[in-house]
Amino acid sequence: MPIIHITQNDAGQTLEKFLKKLLPNAALALIHTLLRKKRVRVNDETVEKKYRLVPGDTVSIALSEEDFSRLSERTPKRLYQQRQLETDTIVYEDRGLLIINKNPGIAVHPGDHKSDEPSLIELVHDYLSDRLNSLTFRPALVHRLDRDTSGLIIIAKTKPVLDRMSKAFRESTVQKTYLAVTVGEPSQDSWIIDAPLLRHDTPTGPKMMIDPRGQSARTRYRIIRRDVRDRYTLVECTPETGRTHQIRAHLAHLGCPILGDSRYGDEQENSYARRHLGIVRHMLHAAVISFRHPIKDVLVTYRARLKEDMRMLVGEDLNTREFAKQSDHPRSGR
């Protein structure tokens, strides 16, 4: 009879949910039968299926070792032999966090884009496969970036870190700063865009639009550089709320959409940029992120270099002056 010792990574979930994850090859009816017939015990006692596991619990399951091995088997092989996480995109890593300077053109999560290419989180699972030791938890995205947005994204490697970072995002104690290249120039050097956003279904797909019925949305911005290629502006944006497409929709609302933005942008300018500058995605980059480290309990800041397409557009000198460092901390803290 297999006996499982519950660690922090597997704690906090109900017994039923734990069993579904632990036994991915088991039919739901079998799991319910095991619970109903009291063939699953916690600390050698029968508990309800809604019992929430805590660190130190022991779970015993009345299955043969052969059946347990068959029902719990996972394929540990690397999923993508041709595509692996590029280690030079790793900004920081320790036992709880992995922070990546995401390349444009890759979805962060399966299903975010109609493509057979692996998502970022799948590549992360591949990268960490030999070091994953949880029975049910897999490293998870703490937040998201659009497919064509480059820059910093945080992955939690343990369940406690995921819980703490998710809480920090909910409570808006994480500060993110983006760099965007806009078509035209905002009328003021700096400002707070305070305009509620509501999702609208349009002939070209869902779109976030300024609407008084929408959720409150605030974005602070300041101009960093004017006359980029004599027609664009480099703008620094700090969202005070975390709405979908917030920066893209807000800058478009100002009449200065992000260059290359196919949903909120200027089609004529986008066409010009494709033909003459080789711009094939929207020019938005998550450059800086600051938060209280969930393990060390100190304030930390991480920075991500511009990707080559954006760096070539705005000038190499920006990368070595305002955003010269890849990170304020050592790349690895494992």
- DSSP code string of 62-118: ---HHHHHHHH----S-S-SS----GGGEEEE-SSEEEEEEPTT--SSTTSSS-SSP
Candidates 3.40.190.10, 3.30.2350.10, 3.10.270.10, 3.90.1170.50; correct CATH number of 87-321?
3.30.2350.10
- pLDDT tens digits, 267-282: 999 999 999 999 999 9
Same fold yes or no, 3-72 and 87-321:
no
CATH 3.10.290.10 fits domain 3-72: yes
The structural domains of the chain, with segments of one domain joined by +, span 3-72, 87-321
Regarding pTM above 0.95, the answer is no
- pLDDT tens digits, 12-61: 999 999 999 999 899 999 999 999 999 999 999 999 999 999 999 999 99
Measured distance CA(311)–CA(26) in Å, rounded: 50
- pLDDT tens digits, 212-266: 999 999 999 999 999 999 999 999 999 999 999 999 999 999 999 999 999 999 9
Measured distance CA(225)–CA(222) in Å, rounded: 9
CB 195 within 8 A of CB 212: no
CA dihedral 271, 257, 244, 79 (to 10 degrees): 30
Determine the pLDDT at residue 191.
Answer: 95
Pick from 250, 252, 267, 256: nearest CA to 231 = 256
Q: Enumerate the active-site residues.
A: 146
Proportion of the chain above pLDDT 90, given as a percent: 75
Determine the pLDDT at residue 202.
Answer: 83
Average pLDDT for the chain: 89
